[in-house]
Structure 1
Amino acid sequence: MDDRIKKYLKELEQHLAVLPEHERKEALDYYSEYMNDALEEGKSYEELLSELDTAERTAAAIKAETSIKNVRSDPGLKNYSRLVRYARIGFTKPLTLLMFSLLIFTTYSIAILLFLGTVISAAAACLILPALVYEALKIPSGYIAEIAGTIGIGVFLSGLMMLAAYGFFVLCRPLFRLSANLISKMINKDKGQVGSTEPTVDAPIAESKKRKSGRALKAGLVIIAVSLLITVATGLPLKLFMIFNSMKPSSITVHSQEFTMDEVDRIDITTAHSLIRLKEGSSDKILLEYEKSDWLEFDISCSNGQLSFREGSNGRLPLFSLVSMHENRAELTVALPAGYRPDKISLESKGGFLYIEEAHLPVEAKTYTGSIFIDVPGITAADGIPDTVSTTTARGSIYVGGEIVKAGK
């Protein structure tokens, strides 16, 4: 081989020093074979060298082509960033360079969004499972189904979040591969490069990675499916579904208690999220009739003229502070004798609705997310809220005669 060819290949090897040894050897072997074939076809050394770029520019093209091949076989951020660095050197036309810059900006912007989606989803998975396991540990040991259901929900939701994170991560691969293909077309369009190689995929490595990721994905799907089945079997999802869809609980027990008018001059009722109904009864006694849901407990007391009712969680449901912000359709009815007028009636619920069917009574009604309904014959929204009734709600609505007078937030 002519000394000029040897010198060219030597310079080319020096410019390719940044590449891994096997990639550098592959490129040098290709160009050496290309030159030998050209000489065998009758080209002179002068013609061959005149067709080639300088060793430096040829090295830049090889780096870009090698990077494209690497991105296609393993489309990760490291390989793609290397491609961007090498490909930029080879462009000579301003329009192609502008298109290249726009493509890189778009690719990295989408990649950043996908990366954020991956991080957020993975972080959510890491938070959800410990949080629900903690909630499960707070549930009394007698409620085995709720404990298992809470942990199952945690595994299921965390699995879904990890699946979403995996999906965002996987989407980066076709994005980088597509961008690499477009860069390859830009390079070829910018100038016809002698000796450009067809990118190849390292099939064994690619297949091995696919098998590993496929096994991990299948294992994840199995875990998600099993956790879902266990959770559904505990009945906890159905119970939560009924609460959040304003359906009356299927398992309730009714508790009733009566008090004489002489022993009560103040009434103080507080529920977590069961609705409260104040109405006129048919008896000469004060009647409290409570539909108790199986995740709640209550206490009734009467002393010093004050009748008190308190409702709270028995620890059976996880995340009760969140659950109690939605109304429970089980009902606490406070039925008062006709003509009875206590000094004060206080009705309060965090998430439950309040129904007031007596307008002449001194009522203080308060909710957080629950709505307040004043349904008294002869009183409409045009009349407004009766003077005897004080209403306070943070996020609920207030209705008079079936029409809204104050919208909730």
Structure 2
Amino acid sequence: MNFIEIFKGAIQCLRGNKMRSFLTMLGIIIGISSVIAMSGIGKGGERKITGSLAKSGFGVYEITVDNEADNYRSVHELEEGDVKLLKESGIEIDAVAPRVFERVNFKGESKRDLRGAIYGTDTDFEVIEEINYIAGRPILRSEAENKVPVIVIDHVTAGRLFPRLSSPIGESIRVEFRRLKIIREFILVGIFEHPEAGLSEAGLARWLPAYGRLSVPLLSRVTGEDEYSGILIKPEDPLEAQKVLGEAITLLEGKNSQGIYEYEERVVRGSSFREVLSTLSLFVTFVASISLFVGGIGVMNIMLVSVTERIREIGIRKAIGAKNIHILMQFLTEAIVLSLTGGVLGVALGYFMAEVIGAFIDIDPIISLDIVVISLVISTGIGLIFGVYPARKASLMNPIDALRNE
């Protein structure tokens, strides 16, 4: 059995009926292009939504030490060397920053103390939190390195500490560190928007916690401690967060003991939301793939018509020695070529549709190589599955009955 000759014969038969072949492929083309386009738009939309939510902490994780682990030792506490290790690891991380936390009371122009919290910050912390400064500026790298006593606070706290000043930048703020029972004075250089600013607009400002940020080196000098409460990690791709965090934990465990480090997402139910987005994207792709089944029916239909039209040809071929397997392979090859060609054209059309639709709805489509390969395999499988019945019907024909057919 010469497969090359069978393939050439299949191509020749299809070229002899170009319009019919194209209309048959059209179902496959539409099905594959729909799957490619919807998958690309779905993934692109998922990326855009998760990227937007990253501003509120979505997609940001904090690695901490499990102090209750049986093999926990003080040497396992997170420190500057761990942050440097992660930054230089080559892991797909957008930003890594230490987190140092202290409960404090803020003392300003107002006689009333404000209970709140101080966070240690650095340049990467600003990238992770994407802080919006209303007045002033962030803490400079040079100020952090030289441990200059400067501070930034949220706008609600600034208004409550300095109710009579329109711009308190440059004013002194006294901070009482409750755990250490000490008071330190800092110069205010920046005012950022409170993370829960929406509650402030709703008239609930009095219930908002007070937030301040110092540079990590300065806060460490004040507290006399070099350990971090945790390390914040923002993966480059929020959809690959689990992989990135696994690599980060493995790296830290390689330096110390296993089972010491754990992580959690900064936004509650963030993982559940990501699962909803993935499920929605998968559902849209599945709906689009239904058209592939319709295309398969079209392939079967046209192959049955082709068998009916070529009954005498089948009879002649059998009369001169063609075996059932030869007839089967010829018609099966035609069905596969139809579907595979439709699949290739569908992939090209799908790319084009994804770009056009994405331009209209402002989404950059993400089309992975996996979905392209799967689409081509599926289109080939459709030709194989839906072409078997017509091909088998042709191969089982009685040559005498076929030759009698008019």
TM-score (norm 2): 0.24
Q: Give the structure, 1 or 2, with the largest relative contact order (CA under 8 Å, sep 6 or more).
A: 2
Quick check: which has more Rg, 1 or 2?
Answer: 1
